[in-house]
């Protein structure tokens, strides 16, 4: 089974890699992701796509690539996908991140690299000598004079594979003071455009809110029509919001100017990391910082009390919850208990009878 051709496997590996793919220490807990979140992040939302994804997941489980956690009392429904620690090396190999042999390591140490890759002589990566040479050839060709292009176009030019540079972007060779995507390879990540719905005319000057998942976005759009709280409700689409931040300028132009940006998502480490990474990019682009919509998070903590789902990935860092303001401490307690809360607890049945 070629995992690189399986959409749900590609998204799962990309998220695993972002979470810890470039770490040198051995992980102590297996990486996992909620099934619905994974489907949304991979944009597998149609009935056909979902059916294909479930079939692929069952095949991956049969092959020992993943473990499937079912919904309690509904064994036919997938709740979470887990990459067992014992399978992590297989995933690395499937996506071409295999530690070089001793002979390859010698070649890497002794090769005459371009200045940008000189660090490779004292650095051991999981990238093959052949691919490193492809990067070197591009740098040697006068890359610094080229126009900035989308990353997939540059990746196809360098590797003959439009996705390979995306994969390498999350590895240690792109750490600070090593390679830089824009300066060295003259390309940039082009995120998915941000789907959004304009609020009522009475809310034209109000803040905007970004919602992580599709179901909650739909319910907040309905609620906003009645409550007139937000000038726009944006669908963040999970991890895709981090790269999609670049489109906020277009949203602001349509709305008549910048305004505060609130965010509401799942209460788990990944759900907290997304808006904070997006906030850094927004501020770098001259836009306002992204703030936690504390009212929504308070409702989630109340409605989800005692109903947390197990979180089997890496635990949240000690500072990740600080972004939540007054909600930080109860969320730290939730995370320390190895639990998460899906934002869908704050659904239409609740919203339609509540004001902010």
Domains with residue ranges and CATH for the chain: 3-94 (1.10.10), 102-188 (no CATH), 196-351 (no CATH)
Q: pLDDT averaged over the chain?
A: 89
pLDDT band at 293 (very low <50, low <70, confident <90, very high): very high
**Is the pLDDT reported for residue 143 higher than 80?**
no
Question: What is the average pLDDT across 171-192?
Answer: 87
Q: Which pLDDT does position 125 carry in this prediction?
A: 75
Per mean pLDDT, which range of 16-20, 76-80, 246-250, 293-297 is the poorest? 16-20
- Residue 316 has what pLDDT? 79
| DSSP letter string, 66-113 | -EEEEETTEEEEEEEEEE-GGGHHHHHHHTT-PPPPHHHHHHHHHS--
pLDDT score at 21: 52
Task: Identify whether the C-beta of residue 188 lies closer than 8 Å to the C-beta of residue 151.
Answer: yes
Q: What proportion of the chain, given as a percentage, has pLDDT over 70?
A: 97
- CA–CA separation, 259 vs 51, rounded Å? 40
**Rounded (to 5) percent helix, strand, coil in the chain:** 55, 15, 35
pLDDT of residue 24: 47
pLDDT tens readout for residues 199-256:
999 999 999 999 998 899 999 999 999 999 999 999 998 888 998 999 999 999 999 9
pLDDT digits (tens, 9 = 90+) for 294-329: 999 999 999 999 998 887 667 778 789 999 999 999
* Gyration radius of the chain's alpha carbons: 22
Q: How far is CA 320 from CA 268, 273, 293, 297, 316, in A?
A: 10, 7, 16, 15, 6
Q: Which two tokens stand for residue 131?
A: 């691919």
Element (H, E) at 310: strand 309-310
Query: Looking at residue 37, what is its pLDDT?
Result: 87
């Amino acid at each position: 089974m070629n995992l690189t051709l399986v959409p749900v496997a590609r998204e799962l590996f990309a998220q695993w890699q972002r979470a810890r793919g470039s770490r040198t220490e051995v992980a102590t807990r297996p990486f996992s992701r909620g099934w619905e979140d994974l489907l949304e992040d991979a944009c597998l939302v149609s009935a056909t796509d979902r059916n294909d994804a479930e079939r692929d997941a069952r095949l991956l489980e049969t092959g020992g690539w993943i473990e499937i956690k079912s919904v309690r009392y509904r064994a036919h429904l997938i709740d979470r996908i887990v990459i067992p620690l014992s399978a992590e090396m297989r995933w690395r190999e499937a996506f071409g991140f295999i530690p070089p042999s001793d002979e390859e390591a010698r070649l890497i140490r002794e090769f005459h690299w371009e200045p940008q890759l000189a660090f490779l002589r004292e650095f051991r990566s999981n990238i093959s000598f052949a691919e490193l040479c492809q990067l070197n050839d591009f740098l040697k060709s006068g890359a610094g004079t080229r126009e900035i292009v989308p990353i997939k176009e540059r990746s196809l030019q360098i590797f003959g594979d439009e996705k390979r540079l995306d994969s390498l972007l999350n590895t240690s060779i792109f750490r600070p003071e090593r390679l830089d995507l824009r300066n060295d390879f003259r390309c940039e990540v082009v995120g998915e455009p941000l789907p959004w719905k304009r609020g009522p005319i009475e809310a034209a000057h109000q803040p905007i809110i970004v919602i992580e998942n599709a179901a909650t976005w739909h319910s907040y759009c309905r609620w906003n029509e009645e409550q007139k709280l937000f000038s726009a409700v944006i669908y963040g689409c999970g991890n895709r919001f981090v790269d999609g931040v670049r489109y906020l300028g277009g949203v602001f132009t349509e709305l008549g100017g910048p305004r505060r940006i609130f965010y509401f998502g799942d209460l788990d480490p990944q759900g907290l990391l997304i808006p904070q990474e997006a906030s850094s990019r927004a501020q770098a682009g001259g836009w306002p910082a992204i703030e936690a919509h504390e009212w929504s998070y308070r409702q989630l903590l109340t409605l989800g009390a005692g109903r947390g789902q197990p979180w089997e990935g890496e635990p949240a860092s000690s500072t990740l919850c600080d972004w939540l303001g007054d909600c930080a401490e109860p969320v730290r307690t939730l995370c320390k208990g190895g639990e998460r809360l899906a934002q869908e607890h704050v659904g239409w049945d609740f919203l339609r009878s509540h004001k902010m």
